[in-house]
Amino acid sequence: MEKEEGETTTTIGVVPAAPAKLPTPIYSLSFWEVTAASGVVLGFILGLVCVYLTMPQSDYSFLKLPRNLEDLQILRDNLEIYTSDYTVQVLVGYCLVYVFMQTFMIPGTVFMSLLAGALFGVVKGMALVVSTATAGASSCYFLSKLIGRPLLFSLWPDKLVFFQDQVARRKDRLLNYMLFLRLTPTLPNTFINVASPIVDVPYHIFFLATFIGLIPAAFVTVRAGLALGELKSLGDLYDFSSMATLCLIGVLSVTPTLIGKKQA
């Protein structure tokens, strides 16, 4: 049919379809996985209750997780009264709280490290912090191996892909790479704890890198705990010299990996 003069036509454009996004994997927890995770929580609570029952009758309203330096100083002042006479209870309670916080990624472990220095000094405080931090990271590792996959894919999908790629490329010198991560702020420690079993980092590598890699930062925070009253903010912990030292150690830890790749 011929168009009459003056008749207008309408051109309908074809809008290209948007590229389809890859579906996000959906994972669900089984009954036994939820039961196991709940059992871990109940175990920590039971341990803390046992510690509480062995302490003398008193007002323990000061017992709470510190969220700032003022809370920490109040906790330190009150716990100093019990540290000499109830050393075992204070130690066990400290360890349970620290490991619990590490296991379930509760922020504030830096305050616990400062508290260790304030209560026990540098040597004992460092031993306490490094051992409990490693135990907590290990607990988080195994719990994540059991139920952590859904959490990772929902919270940090991009970081997980990046981490998995880096681990796969450094299989031969994985310990050096994990040490580098622990010593530098490349990836958050909480993410490393949760993601390591998902991307197939062997536990012995994870354990060694955690134990050794936490020592420098633990020394800085525990030593600062000796002068807790002089701290104005957490920023005072990490001055330029401290950060430069940690970064230098991190670079040295990854140097063998870079040399090996260059020779290859």
**Separation CA 228–CA 220 (nearest Å):** 12
**pLDDT digits over 12-43, tens only?**
444 444 433 434 455 566 777 778 788 888 98
Query: Could you say which DSSP state residue 85 is in?
Result: T
**Separation CA 89–CA 50 (nearest Å):** 9
Structure token digits, residue 250:
């991190």
Q: SS3 for 142?
A: helix
Residue 39 pLDDT: 87
pTM (2 d.p.): 0.79
pLDDT at 71 over 50: yes
